[in-house]
Amino acid sequence: MRKRRYVYMFEEGNAGKKVLLGGKGANLAEMTRLGFPVPPGFTVSTEACREYFKGEETLHEDIKEDIRRGVQELEARTGKRLGGSVKPLLLSVRSGAYFSMPGMMDTILNLGLNDTTARALAEETGDFSFAMDCYRRFLQMYGDVVFHLEPFYFERILDETCKTYGCGKLQELPPEGWEQIIDRYKQVVAEEKEGKFPQDPIEQLFRAVEAVFASWNNPRAVVYRRLNKIPDDLGTAVNIQSMVFGNLGKESGTGVAFTRNPSTGEKELYGEFLFNAQGEDVVAGARTPLPIDSLWEKMPVVYEQLVRTCEKLEEHYGDMQDVEFTVEKGTLYLLQTRAGKRTAGAAVKIAVELVQEGKCSREEALMRVESSQLVQLLHKRIEPNAYLHALARGLPASPGAASGKTVFDANKAEQMALEGEKVVLVRAETTPDDIHGIVASQGVLTSRGGMTSHAAVVARGMGKPCVSGCEAARIMAAEGWFQLEEEIIYEGEIITLDGTTGYVYRGEAPLIYPELSPEFQTLLCWADELRVLGVRANADTPADARKAKDFGAEGIGLCRTEHMFMETDRLPVVQEMILSDTEKERQQSLEKLLPMQQGDFEQILGEMQGLPTTIRLLDPPLHEFLPNLEELMVEIALMEEQKGDPELLAVKKSLLNKIRALNEFNPMLGHRGCRLGLVFPEIYRMQVRAICLAVISLGKRGIEVEPEIMIPLVGHFRELQLIREIVEDEINGVKQDADTEFNYTIGTMIELPRACITAGEIANYADFFSFGTNDLTQTVFGFSRDDAEGKFLPHYVQQKILPENPFMVLDREGVGWLMSQAVSSGRSGKPGLKMGICGEHGGDPGSIDFCQQLGLDYVSCSPFRVPIARLAAAQAVLKERGAEEGAGSQV
């Protein structure tokens, strides 16, 4: 009757079935198929999860029936029986979605234990304590996951019972102690929750599967998906697997192995092992595990087997693997394999080396490095010559350096970050509940946990510096301070972390940006060969221009001139110019500014050595260069009160009047951009003259420059038409005066909705377009970025009113739609009109992908994002090819 199947034995799946079986299930199936030692089991599909959420959030009968059948098959395969009084079958129940969400959803181990089977387990293993420990662990996990009981209830019972029997360790408890624990555990469940703990193992299993499904929507999973842009409607699969025990004595244990070093990318087996422990103990970070070498020392045969297995897995998948395994009395079992998370540095090194080893293609390698993750490689480090006194050292868990105010609480970290503070989160260990705090912090310091602890994994994923397991740290969060070796640091005091070395310093350290590694250079060369989009940088200073060139920028897409006006030696002259009463006075001030501007342009253009450079004429409203209105008002009020010098007072008042006259209600929509150039053409003329003189002067030094002059904030073609006339008139004047020739182009920012709509007309007067998506996003949404990001935008993203912050990820539907209008109408009359983007989106991989689709000529981003843009542009080409080849079939 029904067509759907909800349960697949591992033998039935393979790595290609991730949508149906989740990543973990598909890989367990793949390993089973390839003959690796995987404990037998089956997967309840993601479809079952979606059914679960469609219905009343209980398993419907078809699913239960399939699970029962799966259990029967497992019993047949293992010769054990669920709930059996001899050879009882015990199960692990683990989540596994399409995208890995480590630690976000729930897991239950040792399922199948009840009063009967626990006793059978004790007999079978001959270890009563072990069996009872398994039982009480199961009860606690089940209580936590199914009944949402705090671990605290159970831990208290453990402590009390140990005290009663005068035991330091659980292992020393007499049998009656264990029985008391189990009784009281069951009582907790019965008291706190209406339903008693179900003794029927199949009932246990159904409720466990339901609980794992439900955990798909727990708050931390929801936050994780939002952060990682994972769709909410995928659902998770559940993997049900025969238990193996890492806690069956010294010959047992559990571990995690990476086929290459996930921090550095070095080709070496890397990982950790915890003897006599169950799987979850490693990830939780509660016990600090040993390096993987310890396994080699104690169980060399198992170690060798592990090494060979890891090699085969990497060979098979063509990528670095993260393998979870358990050793039960000297026998190796694989519990999971997946592409290993890695730092960006490692990702680059591994990708390049895998190509060199012939294990994957260049294209695969390029697609495998997540371009947004590269931010890590461009992360700051501490200036090598800085004189610093290290307070302590922990594990170098996530590279990069960061400074910030000490804070002990995730909520507070978020709050302070919203207020614009840089913070460093300091905690004993982090849990998935702390994610928002890590997001908000510059870096994380923990006193416990290893390189694969929660804090370390999450921080690496986010590219934030992390020092973990810094045992010298004694954190007194409630008292508002912590101790590092001998020193006390209060909440709010600044510390610096170096996640590359593990050192922690007091105060703020000077930070610098790193060089690119040779592997990185190689990868970017491959990217350059593939990509179609040009990559330029936004640079306003010679230093930025140099950095941009070092990082491979092919030109400057946006050189803002306002920062030049802000420099301390200029500002007084600029203010004098703005406050001029007559055009003649203004002209005099502008003449003083001319040689300074010429010098600016000569330096930047000289640095770029003839690479294309787009110089934008003055954009901000003039009042931005004047003293603060409010402060001046207060100053005048006080002077009046104190009967200060009347002459000075008069000067101040006249200044106040002028500032008032220039003041605006909405400066973003005010008298700025080309509107300035039209009302005060003499300002633009001065800037154009400075550009021309710089070009001529560089020409004499043998540097040929063809400046691109960009007019901001055009909304109507007449604006550009008139300014173009002014600019060309000035250029012709300079050419005539100097009796020389040079080429130039004049273009415009497309940063207003009206510019997009009338791009066809504007194109008649433009040699190029540059999309200013920052301002365009502001006007399309009606969002003032200055206000929105501090006020309602966080709420909007949190409540999923908007999928993303549109200032970070380009809004394709609104802003993007207008851009595509502008591209097509701009080019309809002028085919091949050069177009680029110089908003911040130019450095965002997703937005770069969109720019490729739009057919732009180049993206321009901050110098430090140039390598990211180079890679993202190559990936955009590969995605386009993939789409053309109908990549839909790959999922």
Q: Which are the catalytic amino acids?
A: 454, 838
Residue from 811, 840, 844, 857 touching a second copy (CB under 8 A): that is: 811
Cβ at position 787, least distance to a second copy in Å? 4
Part in contact with a second copy (CB under 8 A); list of ranges 420-428, 455-463, 596-604, 708-716: 708-716
Cβ at position 677, least distance to a second copy in Å? 11
- Does position 286 interact with a second copy (CB under 8 A)? The reply is no
Residue from 757, 808, 809, 878 touching a second copy (CB under 8 A): that is: 757
CB of 352 or CB of 759, closer to a second copy: 759
- Does position 233 interact with a second copy (CB under 8 A)? The reply is no
Residue from 567, 795, 881, 887 touching a second copy (CB under 8 A): that is: 795
Part in contact with a second copy (CB under 8 A); list of ranges 304-312, 523-531, 635-643, 867-875: 635-643
- Nearest one of 822, 813, 883, 811 to 855, comparing CA atoms: 822
Give the Å distances, CA to CA, from 698 to 186, 361, 585, 603, 610.
Answer: 85, 45, 30, 9, 10
CB of 141 or CB of 578, closer to a second copy: 578
Report how far residue 216's alpha carbon sits from residue 508's, in angstroms, rounded to the nearest whole number: 40
Residue from 754, 767, 830, 882 touching a second copy (CB under 8 A): that is: 754
Joined tokens for residue 47: 């479809």
- Nearest one of 183, 168, 83 to 132, comparing CA atoms: 183
- Does position 713 interact with a second copy (CB under 8 A)? The reply is yes
Residue from 35, 61, 665, 741 touching a second copy (CB under 8 A): that is: 665
CB of 99 or CB of 781, closer to a second copy: 781
Residue from 513, 796, 809, 853 touching a second copy (CB under 8 A): that is: 796
Part in contact with a second copy (CB under 8 A); list of ranges 8-16, 336-344, 609-617, 634-642: 634-642
- Does position 799 interact with a second copy (CB under 8 A)? The reply is yes
Part in contact with a second copy (CB under 8 A); list of ranges 184-192, 201-209, 214-222, 776-784: 776-784
Beta bridge partners of 7: 44
Cβ at position 751, least distance to a second copy in Å? 8
CB of 224 or CB of 680, closer to a second copy: 680
- Does position 817 interact with a second copy (CB under 8 A)? The reply is yes
Provide the 3-class DSSP secondary structure of residue 88. strand
Give the Å distances, CA to CA, from 562 to 30, 37, 485, 675, 677.
Answer: 59, 65, 48, 15, 13
Residue 208, φ and ψ in degrees, nearest 5 = -65, -40
Cβ at position 477, least distance to a second copy in Å? 25
Cβ at position 846, least distance to a second copy in Å? 18
- Does position 155 interact with a second copy (CB under 8 A)? The reply is no
- Does position 229 interact with a second copy (CB under 8 A)? The reply is no
- Does position 800 interact with a second copy (CB under 8 A)? The reply is yes
Q: How many CB atoms lie within 10 A of CB 268?
A: 11
CB of 47 or CB of 804, closer to a second copy: 804
CB–CB of 463/319 below 8 Å? no
Report how far residue 802's alpha carbon sits from residue 60's, in angstroms, rounded to the nearest whole number: 34
Report how far residue 436's alpha carbon sits from residue 425's, in angstroms, rounded to the nearest whole number: 11
Cβ at position 667, least distance to a second copy in Å? 7
Q: How many CB atoms lie within 10 A of CB 144?
A: 17
Task: Give the DSSP per-residue string, 783-813.
Answer: --HHHHTTTTHHHHHHTTSSSS-TTTS--II
- Does position 742 interact with a second copy (CB under 8 A)? The reply is no
Rg (CA), the chain: 33
- Does position 543 interact with a second copy (CB under 8 A)? The reply is no
Cβ at position 593, least distance to a second copy in Å? 22
Q: What is the DSSP letter of 320?
A: -
CB of 667 or CB of 699, closer to a second copy: 667
CB of 144 or CB of 789, closer to a second copy: 789
- Does position 783 interact with a second copy (CB under 8 A)? The reply is yes
User: First vs last Cα of the chain: how many Å apart?
Assistant: 28
Report how far residue 321's alpha carbon sits from residue 313's, in angstroms, rounded to the nearest whole number: 7
CB of 679 or CB of 883, closer to a second copy: 679
Residue from 648, 801, 883, 887 touching a second copy (CB under 8 A): that is: 801
The sheet with strand 331-339 has its strands ordered as 290-291, 270-275, 253-258, 321-328, 331-339
- Residue-level length of the chain: 891
- Does position 752 interact with a second copy (CB under 8 A)? The reply is yes
Part in contact with a second copy (CB under 8 A); list of ranges 174-182, 205-213, 272-280, 791-799: 791-799
Residue from 30, 619, 775, 844 touching a second copy (CB under 8 A): that is: 775
| CB-count burial class (<10 Å; 0-12, 13-18, 19+) for 654 | exposed
Part in contact with a second copy (CB under 8 A); list of ranges 243-251, 587-595, 780-788, 854-862: 780-788
The sheet with strand 481-484 has its strands ordered as 473-476, 481-484, 487-490
- Does position 813 interact with a second copy (CB under 8 A)? The reply is yes
Give the Å distances, CA to CA, from 633 to 427, 623, 637.
Answer: 46, 15, 6
- Does position 14 interact with a second copy (CB under 8 A)? The reply is no
| CB-count burial class (<10 Å; 0-12, 13-18, 19+) for 849 | buried
Part in contact with a second copy (CB under 8 A); list of ranges 85-93, 129-137, 218-226, 718-726: 718-726
CB of 8 or CB of 783, closer to a second copy: 783
- Does position 664 interact with a second copy (CB under 8 A)? The reply is yes
Residue from 61, 486, 581, 641 touching a second copy (CB under 8 A): that is: 641
Task: List Cβ neighbours of 364 (8 Å cut-off, separation of 6 or more).
Answer: 318, 355
- Does position 788 interact with a second copy (CB under 8 A)? The reply is yes
Part in contact with a second copy (CB under 8 A); list of ranges 206-214, 338-346, 458-466, 812-820: 812-820
Write down the residue that tokens 């000490």 correspond to: 406
Residues within window 666-705 making contact with a second copy, judged by CB under 8 A: 666-671, 675, 678-679
Beta strand pairing status for 236-242 and 91-97? antiparallel
Provide the 3-class DSSP secondary structure of residue 281. helix
| Type of residue at 884 | E
- Nearest one of 632, 634, 624 to 657, comparing CA atoms: 632
Report how far residue 540's alpha carbon sits from residue 565's, in angstroms, rounded to the nearest whole number: 11
- Does position 470 interact with a second copy (CB under 8 A)? The reply is no
Residue from 386, 792, 824, 828 touching a second copy (CB under 8 A): that is: 792
- Does position 780 interact with a second copy (CB under 8 A)? The reply is yes
Task: List Cβ neighbours of 173 (8 Å cut-off, separation of 6 or more).
Answer: 129, 161, 162, 165, 167, 181
- Does position 267 interact with a second copy (CB under 8 A)? The reply is no
Cβ at position 755, least distance to a second copy in Å? 9
Query: How many of the chain's residues bind a second copy (CB under 8 A)?
Result: 56
Task: List Cβ neighbours of 840 (8 Å cut-off, separation of 6 or more).
Answer: 773, 774, 807, 808, 861, 862
CB–CB of 706/699 below 8 Å? no
Residues within window 398-427 making contact with a second copy, judged by CB under 8 A: none
CB of 369 or CB of 749, closer to a second copy: 749
| Type of residue at 206 | F
CB–CB of 94/238 below 8 Å? yes
Q: Contact residues for a second copy (CB under 8 A)?
A: 629-630, 633-634, 637-638, 641-642, 664-671, 675, 678-679, 713, 715-716, 718-719, 722, 751-754, 757-758, 775, 778-784, 786-788, 791-792, 795-796, 799-802, 811, 813-815, 817-818
